[in-house]
Amino acid sequence: MKKFKAEIDIMPLEALLDPQGKAVSQNMGNIGLSEISNVRIGKHITLIVDAEDEKTANEKVDTACKKLLCNQIMESYTFQLNEV
């Protein structure tokens, strides 16, 4: 068995409103950063998976994202996998 670390990024779909990101965007001017706009806020998740090989680890992380970590109706996800 090998250990792999997954770095997962989950973001709201582009077509959907991101109220938290909109609030941050609107307040950038208040702190002198009016040149920053279109902020989108998501989640970053890390986890360790035990697997025989990278392909199996990739499949397990993908399944975890689809079935538990990401609401695919409102969010999309990407991840990177590295052996540790």
If one counts the domains in the chain, the total is 1
Q: Collect contacts of 22-31 with beta carbons under 8 A, ≥24 apart.
A: none
Task: Please give the model's pTM, rounded to 2 decimal places.
Answer: 0.89
Domain of 68, in residue numbers: 2-83
Token pair for residue 80? 């990177």
Token pair for residue 31? 């702190």
CATH number at residue 19: 3.30.1280.10
Pairwise CA distance, residues 43 & 9, whole Å: 6
Per-residue confidence in pLDDT tens, the chain, 84 aa: 999 999 999 999 999 999 999 999 999 999 999 999 999 999 999 999 999 999 999 999 999 999 999 999 999 999 999 999
